[in-house]
Amino acid sequence: MSVDHFDVLIVGAGLSGICAGYYLQTQCPARSYTILEGRENLGGTWDLFRFPGIRSDSDMFTLGYSFRPWQDERSIADGPAILNYLRQTAQEFGIDGRIRFQQRVRSASWSSKQARWTVEAEAGPKQQPVRYSCNFLYLCSGYYDYEEGYAPVFPGSKDYQGRLIHPQHWPRDLDYQGQRIVVVGSGATAVTLVPALAQTAAHVTMLQRSPSYILSVPAEDHLARTIRKLLPEWIASRLARWKNILLSIAFYQMCRRAPARAKRFFRRQLARELPPGIDLDVHFQPRYEPWDQRVCLVPDADLFQAIKAGRASIVTDQIVKLTRQGILLQSGRELPADIIVTATGLKLLPAGGIRLDVDGTPVAAGQCLTYKGLMLSNVPNLALCMGYVNASWTLRAELSSGYVCRLLNYMQRHGYVQCVPRCGAAVVGNRPLLGLTSGYVQRALNLLPKQGPKAPWVMHQNYVRDLLSLRLGKLNDGNLVFSRASTTGFVQKQC
C-alpha cells in the first residue's frame, strides 16, 4: 500500500481544521500539510446539524476568525450563514484545495525510531483502506460523536405511534406544520428548536426534567454596527471582538464569584420577558449554580416571545413512559404529541474516536493529563484542538493553532524531531477536563483527559490567560521534552 507523507496531518475540516490550515500555511509556509475529513463536505458541526433554527451559541465576532472578520450585522447567526462563511473562508485562502474528503481516520501509530505517525483511514463510500504518515498530527475533530447523539431509551417507545426524532439526525422531509410537538430537554438545542418549530407547528412543549439558565441577547450587535460606521473595518472588527471577549469574561467571573448576584440578574430579566402567571421558581430556577452548566442564549428573546404568543409552553416534570399518543408524566399528566424530539444531549468522543498508540502501546486519553489544554502527557508530536465551554470555540482554536505553529518552527530551528509533554511522578491529575456538571460531560469523565493541580497541566477557561501562555509563553518550559534522536520507552500512566 502506498503511503502519502506530510509534515502535518490535520484531522477534521470544520471550524478548527480550517483555522489550523490557515495558520500552517501563513506561519509555517515551508511545511506540507493536508486535511482529512470523514464527511463529504467541510463545515463539521455546521454541516452535520440541520435541525430547524440551528444557530451559533456564541457571538459571531468571536466565533468568526480574527483573520477573516465576520461581516454580517447579525451577532447571533443561523447555521446556513455560518456554513457559508466557512466555505468562503476555505476558498479565499485556498484551504479547500488541501482537504481530502471521505477520509475517515481510524487509527494512528507513533514510531519513535522513525519519528513519525502512521495514520490508517477508510476512503470513500466503499471504505477502502488508505495510509498516510506525518511528522506531526493535529486532531481538529472536536470531542463530539458525529455518528450518534445521546438518546435515552424511554419505556413504551415501541408503543408510541408518532415520530421520535433526535436533532442530530433531523429528517430532511419532516413536515411538522400543524403538529403537536414535545421537545424533551432544556439545553441549547432545546431552546433553539422550540421557537423555530413554534412558527408553524400547532403547539410546541418544552419538557424539562430541570431548568437551565437562559439569557436573552440581541441578535444584532448595535454597538458594533455603530463602530463600523465610524472606523475602518479592520479596527472596528478588532474592537467589537475584544469588547465581546472582555464582556464574556466579566460575565463568567460574576457568575462564578458572585452566584447570588448572577441569579438575581437572570431572574430580573426573566420577569421582564415572560408573561404573568409563569412560575419562575418551577420552570426557570435551576438546581445548580450559574455556569456549572452552559448558559443558553436566546436571540431577541425568541423563546420567551413564543411562550407569550401561546405557541409554546414549558412543562417541568419527569417521564414515566411513552404512550400511544404522547408522554405520561410523573405528575399523572399526559402530554399529547404527534412528534417527540429528544434534545437530550450529545456524546463526547475524545480524539474523534481514533485509536492511538505509541511504539505499540495503546494510548488511553482518559489516563493522560492535558498539557496546556492541547497536548497529551507522554504522547509525542500530537495536539488536539479543544475550544472553550464558556466562550467562543474559535478563540481557543486560533490560540491552539498559533501555538502548534510556534512549536513546529521552534523544533525546526533547533533540529528537533520529537516533542513530548512529560509529567513527573509528583504531578497527580484527577480533575476533569471540562468543569461542567452537564450530563453529557459526566457520562464521559473516564474518556476525557484529566487536568493536573497547576499549569501547564490545566486547561484554562480564560482567553486572556491563554493568550499570554500560548502566544507569549516559553516553549522549552521543562515539561515539554525535545529530542533530536529517536527515543523509546513510552509508558502509559495515570498522571
DSSP string, 91-148: HHTT-GGGEE-SEEEEEEEEETTTTEEEEEEEETTTTEEEEEEEEEEEE-S-SB-SS-
Res 266: pLDDT? 96
Res 461: pLDDT? 92
- Residue 254: how many CB atoms within 10 A of its CB? 15
Mean pLDDT, the chain cut into blocks of 10 residues (495 residues total): 92 97 97 97 93 93 96 91 97 98 97 96 94 98 84 91 94 94 96 97 97 94 87 90 95 96 96 92 95 94 96 97 97 97 89 93 93 96 95 96 98 96 76 86 88 92 95 93 70 44
Res 425: pLDDT? 65
Res 190: pLDDT? 96
Q: Are 372 and 472 in contact (CB under 8 A)?
A: no
Q: What is the DSSP letter of 470?
A: I
Task: Enter the C-alpha cell of residue 484.
Answer: 533530536
Which superfamily is assigned to 163-221+260-342 in CATH?
FAD/NAD(P)-binding domain (3.50.50.60)
Residues 6+ apart with CB under 8 A from 166: 148, 149, 151, 341, 342, 344
Res 53: pLDDT? 94
Task: Enter the C-alpha cell of residue 215.
Answer: 439569557
For residue 356, give the H/E element and its range. Answer: strand 355-358
Res 494: pLDDT? 41
Highest CATH level, class, for 3-147+348-483: alpha beta
CA distance 57 to 78: 10
- Residue 195's SS3 state is helix
Q: Are 195 and 53 in contact (CB under 8 A)?
A: yes
Indicate if 163-221+260-342 has the same CATH topology as 3-147+348-483.
yes
Task: Enter the C-alpha cell of residue 320.
Answer: 414515566
In degrees, rounded to 5, the angle at the alpha carbon of residue 405 between the alpha carbons of residues 64 and 249 is: 40
Res 495: pLDDT? 45
* Residue ranges covered by each domain of the chain: 3-147+348-483, 163-221+260-342
Res 73: pLDDT? 82
